[in-house]
Amino acid sequence: NAGVMQNPRHLVRRRGQEARLRCSPMKGHSHVYWYRQLPEEGLKFMVYLQKENIIDESGMPKERFSAEFPKEGPSILRIQQVVRGDSAAYFCASSPREEQYFGPGTRLTVT
Amino acid sequence: AQKVTQAQTEISVVEKEDVTLDCVYETRDTTYYLFWYKQPPSGELVFLIRRNSFDEQNEISGRYSWNFQKSTSSFNFTITASQVVDSAVYFCALSESGTYKYIFGTGTRLKVLA
Contact yes or no for B44 and A35 at CB 8 A: no
- How much of chain A exceeds pLDDT 70, in percent? 99
Q: Provide the percentage of residues in chain B whose pLDDT is more than 90.
A: 84
**Percent of chain A topping pLDDT 90:** 82
pLDDT tens for residues B76-107?
999 999 999 999 999 999 998 777 889 999 99
DSSP lists the bridge partners of residue A108 as A11, A88
Distance from CA of A98 to the nearest CA of B (A): 6
Q: What is the average pLDDT value for chain B, to the nearest integer? A: 94
CA separation for the pair B27, B4 (Å, rounded): 9
Query: Any chain A CB within 8 A of the CB of B3?
Result: no
Contact residues on chain B for A56, CB-CB shorter than 8 A = 100-101
